[in-house]
Structures are given as C-alpha cells and as structure tokens.
Structure 1
Amino acid sequence: MEIYQLRTFVAVAQQGHLTQAAEILHLSQPAVTAQIKALEEEMGVSLFERSAGGVTLTKAGQLLLPEAEAILAGARGLITMARGLQGHLTGKVRIGTIADPALLRLADILVEIHRRYPLLDAQTSHSISGVVLNDVRKKELDCGFFIGKNPYVNVHAIAVRELVFRVVAPVAWQDKLANATWKDVGRLPWVWINQFNSYNKLTNELFREHNISPQKVFELDQERTTLALVKAGVGMSLMREELAQEALARGDVIEWGNVRKTASLNFIWPAERDGDLLITAMLDIVRSVWQLPEQAPVAS
C-alpha cells in the first residue's frame, strides 16, 4: 500500500467522480482507476460502487475512509515537522489575487512574507474569483482570495471582511431614474459581469429578488472597466462600495435605489493542506495583517 494510493482513494471519495478526482490529482482517469483497483485488491474489499453518475463508497469504504485520512494527515505532519527542523521556510508560495490589490492588503501581506521568511519566494497570479477558487481546489495555487460562498468541501476559507455593493447608473439617467421602480430599471440595460466573477452571482440574486430580467450589455470581469462603461452611459451596474463612493464623489455616476448587497472576502487554501507549514505561515500572516482573531473560524 502506497501513500499516493490512499491520496487517490480520499480524492475519489470527496469528489464522488473519477474524472473530477483525476483532474485534482493531475492524473489520467485510467491511472486513478488502476490505483483504486490495486488498493482494493491489496485490501481484499471493494471501496466504491460504480454507476453512470459517478461512484459512492461501499460500507467498507465508509469505514476505511477516516483511517486513510488519518494516515495522510500523519504523513503531512511528518513532512511539516521535518521542514520545520530545517530552521527556515523555503520554496515558493503561489497566491491567487483578485480585484484591487489594496482591497486585499496585498502589499502588506508581501512585506510580511519578506520580513518573516526571506527565503520564501512569493508569486502572485491575478485573476477573477471563480478562477482563483478553482485553481486552489485543483492545487494549482497554494492559496488565494475569493469573494462569496465557498461551494467546495476540499477548500477551506476564513472571512477577512464583509464587502458591500451598491447599484450605480449613468449621470445622464438622473431624471428618468428619479422615481423609477424595479420594474422600470428592469427595462434598462445593465453592464454585465463575467459568470466566473462573484459579482455575477450577487447581481443574479438581486434580479431574482425583484423578479426582473434586464438587458445585458457586454460581459466584463474588471471593476474599473465596468465603472468606465457606466460613466459613459452604457448601462447600470452593481458595484463594490469603495469604488462606487469614489465615483459618486467625483460626480462620474449616480446611485439608485439605496441597494445594499453583501458578500465575504475570503482567504482560501486546499483543505488537505491544513497543518502544512507553508499554509500555517500564510494564515498567520493574513490574520496579522487583517487583525483577525488567532482562531478565526474556518469554513469549508
């Protein structure tokens, strides 16, 4: 029995699907199937029941899964202890970033990494929320930031702050929006947000709450481009409060409806790396920079 076989067993159990487990493990589906088969032969029991929709644990698999997880946790702990004995944290940390770096306090985080761990190479990768979440899930990133509710059991998160969003519109629409109802704004164009951006879900929730289906103009993934289009008179949009306040103060846009939607800004990492020396170091830094409690709640 090999550690990599147990890792595959746990991944398949978590995902409930061979293809998705193969994607996370960076293996082919036949390789995953072969590892599970070899493990079943060595153990002398069937671990999964297979169906067209995926796989489910047998009773034997359900009993053995916690033991497999404990063995993997022990192996990670051994590696963490060994690295700690070296005296310095080395290697590379890949951090997924989103939105405005100031929103994440990214510069402060990087300064702390350099101050505490001068031998650690920090590499940032800027994208949108959904992409960062998926890359952390697949372990292509060590950690990162994500806005909204985390849907994956194999990704852990701590909320660093609550974000507020408002509805903004072109200044030229001041008169026609003065007494506008939700039904009225439902007939107007809205600058649309890319489906992988967390703002997309917030906007969809807003429309469902008020039973409207407005015109969708463009499909963007950057806040400031969205703001520029609203300012140019293209359409309305849901916008992060800090950005909206700046634009309102300059007279670039107007606010409509006194709408307030909220979502959490989260720091995320792969669940199976709990206790990993690198992740522990990053969590300590994020908690310090954001002044979070030492044991800020971890959500899966």
Structure 2
Amino acid sequence: MEIYQLRTFVTVAQQGHLTQAAELLHLSQPAVTAQIKALEEEVGMPLFERTAGGVNLSRIGQELLPQAQAILEASRELLYRSRSLKGQLAGRAVIGAITTPEMINIGPWVAALIEKYPLLDIQLQHGVTGGVLNRVRKKELDAGFYIGKNPYVNVNTVHLTEMRFRVVAPPSWRERIASMSAKELGKLPWVGISQQSSLHKLTSELWREMNISPKKITEVDHIPCIASLVRAGVGLAIMREDEATAMQHSGDLVLVGDYGKTTDLHFIYSADREGDPIIEALLTELAAMWKH
C-alpha cells in the first residue's frame, strides 16, 4: 500500500468521480482506475460502488477513509517538519491576484513578506476570481484571492473583509436616471461581466432582486475597465462602493439610488497545504495586514 494510492483513494472519495479526481491529481483516468483497483485488491474488498453519475464509497471505503486521510496528514506534517528544520524559510509561492492591487492590499503584504523572508520567491499571477479558485483547486497556484463563496471542500478559505458594491452610471446620465424605477433602469444598456469574474454572479443576483434583465452592451473581465466604460457613457455597471464614491466626488460617474450588493473577500489555498511553512508564513503576514 503506497502513499500515492491513498492520495488517489481520498481524492476520488472527495470528488465522487474518477475523471474529476484524475484532473486534480494530474493523472489519466485509466491510471486512477488502476491505482484504485490495485488498492482494492490489496484490501481484498471493493472501496467504491460504481453509479451512473460517478462513484460512491462502499461500507469498507467509508470505514477506511478517515484512516487514509490521517496517514496523508501525518506524511505532510513529516515533510513540513523536515523542511522547517533546514533553517530559514525558502521556496516559491505562486499567488493568484485579482481585481486591483489596492483592493487586496497586495503591495504592503508582499513587501512585508520579502522583508521577513528574503529567501522566499513570490510570484504573482493576475486573473479573474473564478479562474484563480479553479487553479488553486488544481494546485496550479499555491494560493490566491477570491471574491464570493467557495464551493470546494479541498480549498481552504480565510475571510479578509466584507465589500459593498453599488450600481453606477455615466455622469452625463445624472438627470436621466434621477427618478427612474428599477424596471426603467433595466431598459438601459449595462456593462456585462465575464462569467469567470465574481462580479458576474453579483450582478446577476442584483438583477434578480431588481426583477430586470438588461441588455449587455459589452462584456469585460477586468474591474478597472468597468470604470472607464461607465465614465465614457457605455452603460450602467456595479463597482466597489468606496471607489465609486470617490469617482462620484470627482465627477467621473454617479451612484444610482441605493442599489447594490455585499460580498466577501477571501484568501484561498489548497486544503492539502494546511500546515505548510510557506502557507503559514503567507497567512501570518496576511493576518497582520488585514487586522481590524
């Protein structure tokens, strides 16, 4: 019985599907199937029951899963402990950044990490929030920032702050929208948001609450583009409240009534990295940066 077989067993159990488990493990489906089969032969009983939609744990599989998870956790702790004994923290951390640098406080955080851990190689890769979550889930990123609710059990989340978003309009529309109802606002053009962006879901939820289905005049996946398009008169959109308020004071846009939505900003990392010295270092400096 090998560690890699136990890792495959636990991943299949968590995903309930061989193909999805293979994707996370960076293996082919036949390889995953072969590892499960070899483990079942060694145990002498089936670990899974095959269904039309995937696989479910058998009774013996349910009994063995907690022990398999404990063995994997112990092996990770042994690895992390051995690394910490080498001395000063060193290694690479590839981190997914989203939205704007100011929104996630990326500059001060990285500066603090570099000062405290000079041997830590920090690499930032910008993306949309859905893409960052998926890449952390697949372990293509060590960690990242994410807006919204995390649906994956194999990705840990650390709550950073609550953010309020408001509906904004071009400054030239101030008089036009002054007394408009939600229904009338729904007949105006809106800036659409890419499905990979957290603002897509947030905007969709807001439209449902307003009972509207506006025409999307264009679609973007980069938040700074939203402000530029609204300022230019393209259409309505949602923006972070503090940024929108500042732009309203400068005359670059106008807030539309009290329409808006609230969501959460999280820091995410693979559950398998719990206790990893590099992840712990990231979390420690993050907590200091976001303390209230």
TM bracket, shorter-chain basis: over 0.9
> Shift of the alpha carbon at 1:67?
0.4
What does residue 162 of structure 1 align with?
Answer: 162
What does residue 277 of structure 2 align with?
Answer: 277
What does residue 261 of structure 1 align with?
Answer: 261
Which residues in structure 2 correspond to 1:39-188 (within 5 Å)?
Answer: 39-188=39-188
Amino acid at match of 2:162: E
Identical positions, percent? 54
> Shift of the alpha carbon at 1:246?
2.4
> Shift of the alpha carbon at 1:133?
0.4
Amino acid at match of 2:117: Y
Which residues in structure 2 correspond to 1:191-206 (within 5 Å)?
Answer: 191-206=191-206
Give the root-mean-square deviation of aligned CA atoms.
1.0
What does residue 190 of structure 2 align with?
Answer: 190
Deviant stretches of 4+, over 6 Å: none
Say which is worse superposed, 197-206 or 48-57, in terms of deviation: 48-57
Residues 213-232 of structure 1: CA distance to partner in whole angstroms, max 9, x if unpaired? 01112110111211111111
SS for the counterpart of 1:238 is strand
What does residue 18 of structure 1 align with?
Answer: 18
What does residue 298 of structure 1 align with?
Answer: none
- Structure 2's unaligned 5+ residue stretches are none
Q: Does 1:214 align with 2:214?
A: yes
Following the alignment from structure 2 to structure 1, what is the Cα–Cα distance between the partners of residues 195 and 260? 21
What does residue 295 of structure 1 align with?
Answer: none
What does residue 29 of structure 1 align with?
Answer: 29
Following the alignment from structure 1 to structure 2, what is the Cα–Cα distance between the partners of residues 54 and 69? 21
Following the alignment from structure 1 to structure 2, what is the Cα–Cα distance between the partners of residues 96 and 227? 22
> Shift of the alpha carbon at 1:243?
2.1
> Shift of the alpha carbon at 1:173?
1.6
Following the alignment from structure 2 to structure 1, what is the Cα–Cα distance between the partners of residues 19 and 104? 34
> Shift of the alpha carbon at 1:71?
0.2
Residues 135-163 of structure 1: CA distance to partner in whole angstroms, max 9, x if unpaired? 00000001110001111111010111111
> Shift of the alpha carbon at 1:52?
2.1
Following the alignment from structure 1 to structure 2, what is the Cα–Cα distance between the partners of residues 257 and 40? 62
> Shift of the alpha carbon at 1:112?
1.8
Following the alignment from structure 1 to structure 2, what is the Cα–Cα distance between the partners of residues 119 and 174? 53
2:136–2:269 CA contact under 8 A, matched in 1: yes
Amino acid at match of 1:193: I
Say which is worse superposed, 97-106 or 191-200, in terms of deviation: 97-106
Residues 67-103 of structure 1: CA distance to partner in whole angstroms, max 9, x if unpaired? 0000000000000110111012111011110011121
> Shift of the alpha carbon at 1:176?
2.2
What TM-score do you get using the length of structure 2 for normalisation? Answer: 0.98
Residues 156-200 of structure 1: CA distance to partner in whole angstroms, max 9, x if unpaired? 101111111000011222222111001101111100110010011
> Shift of the alpha carbon at 1:242?
2.5
> Shift of the alpha carbon at 1:6?
0.5
Q: Does 1:234 align with 2:201?
A: no
2:24–2:138 CA contact under 8 A, matched in 1: yes
Following the alignment from structure 1 to structure 2, what is the Cα–Cα distance between the partners of residues 222 and 246? 19
Amino acid at match of 2:238: L
Following the alignment from structure 1 to structure 2, what is the Cα–Cα distance between the partners of residues 245 and 224? 15
SS for the counterpart of 2:259 is coil
Say which is worse superposed, 99-108 or 123-132, in terms of deviation: 99-108
